[in-house]
C-alpha cells in the first residue's frame, strides 16, 4: 500500500524566476495491486508526485509511506518507466532489459534468461540483438517496460510512457501492458494526459488540480477486467471520459 500524507513540494527560484509550488497538501492512498492513473493539466505536479513515490525527490513537508515504511530513497520494491525510454544506446535489447538485474549482481545466465522471457512477453522476439537506434519508438518503449519488469518490482511507476508514440502504437502498448500485468499483477501508478487512456487502464483515476497540485477528485473506473478490446463501445466508458473532460475543462477556465 502507498500512502501520501500532506505532501508539499516547492521548486526553488533560479535565474530570477519565481519559486514554483508544485504540490500543496496531497493526500492519497493506493492499495496493493491497484492500477491508479494520475490525470491533470500540464504542470500540476503529476511527475513530481511520481518521483516522490520513487524516492527520487525529497518533499518539503509530508511523507510517502509504502507498506507503513517511510520512503527515504529509491528501493528494490519500485521501478520506473519514463516517457523518453532512457535506454543504453551502446547495449542491445537483451543487455538493456537485463541491466537492472546486472546492477543487483544476478548471474549472467539467469539475467539473460529472464530478459529473453520478458522480451517475448512484450512482443519483441527476434530483436534480442538489436540496438536502440535500430528500433522504432514503440519498440524502444517495450524494451523499457521489459527492463522495469525484469527486476520484479512490487510497484511500477510510469511517467507518460506512451506519450511519445503515435495513436496506433499507443493502443498496442496499452494492450501489451494490460496483458503483462494480467500474468504478473503489480501496483501501478501511471501518469497520463489522456482521459481515454486513464479510463482504459486504471482501476481509479486521480484528478489533480492546476498548479499547485492537489487531489481534486478520485473516480472509480467500474468497467470489467480483463478490459475488452472494444471497451470504447461500453456506455460507461463514454460517461467516465466525458466526466473527466468536463472536470478538466472547468479547472482551466
* The domain boundary residue, chosen from 113, 128, 152: 152
Q: Are residues 112 and 202 in the same domain?
A: no
> Which phi and psi (to 5°) does residue 40 adopt?
175, 175
Model pTM? 0.90
Q: Are residues 73 and 164 in the same domain?
A: yes
Q: What whole-number distance in Å separates Cα of residue 220 and Cα of residue 244? A: 11
Q: Please identify every stretch of the chain with a pLDDT value under 50, giving residue numbers as ranges.
A: none
* The domain boundary residue, chosen from 131, 152, 173: 152
- My answer on whether omega of the bond before 156 falls inside 30° of 0, hence cis, is no
Q: Are residues 179 and 127 in the same domain?
A: no
Instruction: Go through 11-46 and write b for each residue having 16 or more CB atoms within 10 A of its CB, e for each that does not.
Output: eeeeeeeeebebbbebebebeeebbbbbbbbeebbb
Q: Are residues 164 and 202 in the same domain?
A: yes
Residue 135 domain-assigned (yes or no): yes
Q: What share of the chain is helix, strand, coil (3-state, %, to 5)?
A: 40, 25, 40
Question: What percent of the chain lies above the pLDDT cut of 90?
Answer: 55
Positive or negative, the CA dihedral 148, 153, 159, 162 is: positive
Q: What whole-number distance in Å separates Cα of residue 231 and Cα of residue 205? A: 16
Burial of 122 (0-12, 13-18, 19+ CB in 10 A): buried
Q: Are residues 119 and 173 in the same domain?
A: no
DSSP secondary structure letter of residue 225: S
What pLDDT is recorded for position 163?
A: 79
Decide if 247 contacts 39 (C-beta within 8 A): no
Q: Are residues 227 and 171 in the same domain?
A: yes
Domain span at residue 91 reads: 87-152
Q: Are residues 253 and 148 in the same domain?
A: no
For 46, the grid coordinates are 503529476
Helix or strand (DSSP H, E) at 200 = helix 195-201
Site of grid cell 517511510: 70
pLDDT digits (tens, 9 = 90+) for 32-56: 999 999 998 888 889 999 999 999 9
For 15, the grid coordinates are 535565474
Residues 6+ apart with CB under 8 A from 204: 34, 35, 36, 37, 218, 219, 220, 221
Q: Are residues 64 and 157 in the same domain?
A: yes
Closest CA to 209 of 9, 44, 20: 44
Q: Are residues 243 and 125 in the same domain?
A: no
pLDDT digits (tens, 9 = 90+) for 136-180: 888 998 898 899 888 889 999 999 888 777 888 888 888 888 888
What pLDDT is recorded for position 16?
A: 62
Residue 23 domain-assigned (yes or no): no
Q: Are residues 221 and 248 in the same domain?
A: yes
Amino acid at each position: 500500500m502507498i500512502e501520501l500524507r500532506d505532501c508539499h513540494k516547492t521548486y526553488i527560484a533560479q535565474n530570477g524566476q519565481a519559486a514554483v509550488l508544485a504540490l500543496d497538501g496531497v493526500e492519497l492512498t493506493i492499495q496493493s495491486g491497484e492500477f491508479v492513473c494520475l490525470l491533470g493539466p500540464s504542470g500540476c505536479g503529476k511527475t513530481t508526485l511520481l518521483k516522490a513515490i520513487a524516492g527520487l525527490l525529497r518533499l518539503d513537508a509530508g511523507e510517502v509511506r509504502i507498506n507503513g515504511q517511510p520512503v527515504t530513497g529509491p528501493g528494490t520494491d519500485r521501478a520506473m518507466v519514463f516517457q523518453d525510454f532512457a535506454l543504453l544506446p551502446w547495449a542491445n535489447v537483451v543487455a538493456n532489459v537485463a541491466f537492472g538485474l546486472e546492477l543487483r549482481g544476478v548471474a549472467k545466465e539467469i539475467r539473460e534468461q529472464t530478459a529473453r522471457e520478458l522480451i517475448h512477453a512484450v512482443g519483441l522476439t527476434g530483436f534480442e540483438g538489436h540496438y536502440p537506434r535500430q528500433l522504432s519508438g514503440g519498440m524502444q518503449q517495450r524494451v523499457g517496460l521489459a527492463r522495469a519488469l525484469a527486476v520484479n518490482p512490487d510497484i511500477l511507476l510510469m511517467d507518460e510512457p506512451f506519450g511519445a508514440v503515435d495513436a496506433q502504437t499507443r493502443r498496442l502498448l496499452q494492450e501489451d501492458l494490460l496483458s503483462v500485468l494480467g500474468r504478473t499483477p503489480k501496483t501501478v501508478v501511471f501518469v497520463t494526459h489522456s482521459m481515454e487512456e486513464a479510463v482504459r487502464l486504471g482501476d481509479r483515476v486521480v484528478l489533480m488540480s492546476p498548479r499547485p497540485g492537489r487531489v481534486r477528485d478520485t473516480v472509480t473506473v467500474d468497467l470489467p477486467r480483463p478490459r475488452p478490446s472494444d471497451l470504447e463501445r461500453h456506455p460507461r466508458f463514454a460517461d467516465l471520459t466525458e466526466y473527466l473532460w468536463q472536470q478538466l475543462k472547468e479547472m482551466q477556465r
